Amino acid sequence: MKKKDDLMEKIVSLAKRRGFVFQGSEIYGGLAGTWDFGPLGVLLKENIKKIWTKKFVHDRDDMYMVDAAILMNPKVWEATGHVAGFSDPLSECKKCKHRFRTDQLEDPKKCPDCKGELGDSKQFNMMFKTQIGVSDDPDSISYLRPETAQGIFVNFKNIIDTFHPKLPFGIAQIGKAFRNEIAPRDYIFRVRELEQMEIEYFVDPRDKTKIDETFNYLFDLQMEFLKEIGLSESKIHKIEVPESDRAHYSKRSVDTEFDFPFGQKELLGLAYRTDHDLRSHTEKSKVDLSYYDEETKERFISHCIEPTFGVERLFLALLSDAYTEDEMGGDKRVYLKFAPSVAPVKVAIFPLLKNKPELVEKAKSIFAEIRKTIPEVTFDDNGNVGKRYRRQDEIGTPFCVTVDFDTLEKDVVTVRDRDTGKQEVVSVSELVKFISEKVK
């Protein structure tokens, strides 16, 4: 356990030092379960979302993307059962008054902080409640959405009426969700404000065999996505969720778990939600959310399969998987072994010497040219080249380009590979193509 704790401390320290993740509201002592993403963290998150959007939306003909409001009519959450049942078991210590999730305690009767006696467990609703407008009465109550899925379901009819898609088809969304976690923990793994990438894939309920095939197909796509962003296959585990542990709306669920430094935990989810949501909203809203099959002239409620992805959990999986310590040139080094596709910075441009104006000018001109094609490029002339290499290694930059006197004389540069340290001479005219082919 100590080794795992040490690794987590190293990752958290690097993430803050290099501008990936900061504690939320840090100058005021922070706020539990909230985190701010710095410049490199934003780039890493954007790369995750960009790859996901390309794979699951842009490269397909059967997917429609929406961006639903965070605040929704509270009847949405009444219809889905969130108001009545979106809760976790809560225990409070009679001595220190600290609160804990009962199902995460080794001893449900003893406080893990002060060893005092815990009170009886009770259910705690995890939705953040807020007020709409100026009136402070029951009719003005609303909630920050605890999931993005319902924004898709309430727009099902809009997509049907506007685009007339044929089954099967999907509706995708990337957006924020909020959960008032009793005990947020494990860094950015369990937080109160999170970002989800979700798909509700609607299928014909009359073809059970096709539903099973589609479920397995969507799981395979999830695995392809994890491979594309560079996660180690050996750390990925498929867990078939037993009926007793599934959500009430799910007829089948498969969790994808990952070996984080603090243990094997859920990374992705895949659930066959049947017609639970569309049927619930039809009954509560009195609006017909059925699908009409033009060929058979039948009307029915579509069933739905939901692949769901948490951005922060993918971010943490990438960060922990990429963290590497080794020796190079007799010196110990730390580097992030990101796949080039997700690396926040793809290439760094160095002039060999900062005090040689001709080298600096040439390096800046190369930087400007590369930037037109590869925007994730940085310029660095601070300190000697060795120190610059180490800085770029630590943030996961796959390639460093050094502009030296051969550049001025022969129009070539030296390209250094992050993982191996090997250097290769490349002509300036071929540099953009050389780098582009390696980081796409």
CATH number at residue 409: 3.40.50.800
Amino acid found at 386? G
- How far is it, in rounded angstroms, from Cα 402 to Cα 350? 5
Residues 332 and 325 sit within 8 Å (Cβ to Cβ):
yes
pLDDT at 290 over 60: yes
* Model confidence band, residue 110 (pLDDT cutoffs 50, 70, 90): confident
Residues 113 and 98 sit within 8 Å (Cβ to Cβ):
yes
Token pair for 119: 């009170």
- Tell me if 334 is assigned to some domain: no
Shared domain for 366 and 315, answered yes or no, is no
Shared domain for 363 and 410, answered yes or no, is yes
Domain boundary among 275, 301, 319: 319
Q: pLDDT tens digits, residue range 372-418?
A: 999 999 999 998 999 999 999 999 999 999 999 999 999 999 999 99
Amino acid found at 168? P
pLDDT for 2:
56
CA 138 and chain centroid, separation: 35
Residue 112 Cα distances to 97, 309, 409, angstroms: 12, 31, 68
Shared domain for 169 and 305, answered yes or no, is yes
- CATH for 289: 3.30.930.10
Shared domain for 69 and 214, answered yes or no, is yes
Shared domain for 354 and 396, answered yes or no, is yes
- Tell me if 208 is assigned to some domain: yes
Range of the domain at 397: 345-439
- Tell me if 24 is assigned to some domain: yes
Domain boundary among 319, 337, 369: 319
Residue 187 Cα distances to 70, 153, 265, 316, angstroms: 24, 31, 13, 9
Shared domain for 174 and 63, answered yes or no, is yes
- How far is it, in rounded angstroms, from Cα 288 to Cα 292? 11
Shared domain for 362 and 234, answered yes or no, is no
Q: pLDDT tens digits, residue range 297-354?
A: 999 999 999 999 999 999 999 999 999 999 988 889 999 999 999 999 999 999 999 9
Shared domain for 173 and 278, answered yes or no, is yes
Shared domain for 266 and 190, answered yes or no, is yes
Residues contacting residue 22 through CB under 8 Å, at least 6 positions apart = 16, 35, 36, 37, 38
- How far is it, in rounded angstroms, from Cα 198 to Cα 133? 30
Shared domain for 309 and 206, answered yes or no, is yes
CA 247 and chain centroid, separation: 22
Q: How many structural domains does the chain have?
A: 2
Shared domain for 287 and 158, answered yes or no, is yes
Bridge partners for 266 per DSSP: 257
Residues contacting residue 75 through CB under 8 Å, at least 6 positions apart = 284, 285
pLDDT for 244:
86
pLDDT for 156:
97
* Model confidence band, residue 187 (pLDDT cutoffs 50, 70, 90): very high
